[in-house]
Amino acid sequence: MNPARSFAPDLVRGNFGTTWIYVVGPAIGALIGVTFEWILKGRATAAGAIAAQGAQGADDSTDARKTAEK
């Protein structure tokens, strides 16, 4: 779905009657996706946020980079 293919003709015509679907549709889809993820995974935790940043276990001696340096 390319919103430019619908927005450009609407812009030239000056009729934005159907343009709203290209804004509302993806926003609703994103909201549904986030809701399903929240239902399946539960609330975000501090440990999960740290792990998502890749910082969990950085001081651990089993880190691959530290093992390779030895």
Q: Which of 9, 30, 31, 29 has the alpha carbon at shortest distance from 19?
A: 9
How far apart are alpha carbons 55 and 58 in whole angstroms?
5
Q: Which two tokens stand for residue 20?
A: 């709203």
Quick: pLDDT tens for 30-42. 999 999 999 998 8
Quick: pLDDT tens for 40-57. 988 888 888 888 888 766
Choice between 67 and 35, residue whose per-residue pLDDT is larger: 35
**Amino acid 32: pLDDT:** 97
Residue 1 pLDDT grade (very low, low, confident, very high; cuts 50, 70, 90): low
pTM summary value:
0.54
Q: Which of 8, 11, 52, 3 has the alpha carbon at shortest distance from 27?
A: 3
| Residue length of the chain | 70
CA 68 to chain centre: 33
